[in-house]
Amino acid sequence: MPDLLAVEELVVRYGPITAVRGVSLRVQQGEIVALLGANGAGKSSLLNAVAGLVPVAGGRVLFRDEPLHRLPPERIVARGLGLTPEGRRVFPRLTVEVNLRLGAAMQRDREKLRATRDRVLELFPVLSQRLSQDAGTLSGGEQQMLAIGRSLMANPSLLMLDEPSLGLAPLIVERIFELMSRLRDEGATLLLVEQNVDRALRIAVRAYVLQSGAVEAEGPADELRRSADIERAYLGIGVS
């Protein structure tokens, strides 16, 4: 099966600091692929580079065999690649309804927009009860659901999730992982950065472990769950 996303020898620098050091990874249609590592290992930098939010200093990003690494973020979204960033980043003074519609800003087909909105609200029933509320009045878990829902409004072929369970109560974490499992079962493709390592490896097909901006280990998720490479990577000291 051809790769939906292929990252080849990716390098990301912030001034004199190299945050991502020649990382290669692949994601195929219908997979959940986990990207793991200690804080500062380069995970978010990699996602941001793929999404066009930070410049690529070396290597390539291919999506459906077409290069993305020199495109602006809005054209990357239009190609079908979405990112739910760490920290939710909803628009707090805008309503839930407007936040969702902003996720579909490039969608001109009203019928498709309505169907996508209905689908998102079916996935996140609590949002249907909060449509007229300002996003800043939602709980942390509701804001995370809104952030993911906003990303799904663009109908991405591949959705990248950066620490979706970070800082959430255990019950909400359970619901977020149930959602990701449901999306997987329905054929969605996800690239997941997640600090809950065991849970991430239980829903992923494959995983990559980063340490100091480079791939420390990779392979089937169930094998990595039993591997000492995970422990070594999390005991290592990464790059900011």
Collapsing DSSP states into helix, strand and coil, what is residue 167? coil
Question: pLDDT tens across 22-43, in order?
Answer: 999 999 999 999 999 988 999 9
CA atoms within 13 A on the CB side of 143: 21
Q: Residue 207: which of 20, 40, 43, 4 has the closest Cα?
A: 43
Question: pLDDT tens across 72-103, in order?
Answer: 999 999 999 999 998 878 999 999 999 999 99
State yes or no: pLDDT of 189 exceeds 60. Answer: yes
HEC letters along 78-134: HHCEEEECCCCCCCCCCEHHHHHHHHCCCCCCHHHHHHHHHHHHHHCHHHHCCCCCE
| Superfamily for domain range 3-87+156-235 | P-loop containing nucleotide triphosphate hydrolases (3.40.50.300)
State yes or no: pLDDT of 193 exceeds 90. Answer: yes
| pTM passes above 0.75 | yes
- Domain definitions of the chain by residue range: 3-87+156-235
In DSSP terms, 137 is beta-bridged to none
In DSSP terms, 81 is beta-bridged to 158
pLDDT in the model for residue 234? 66
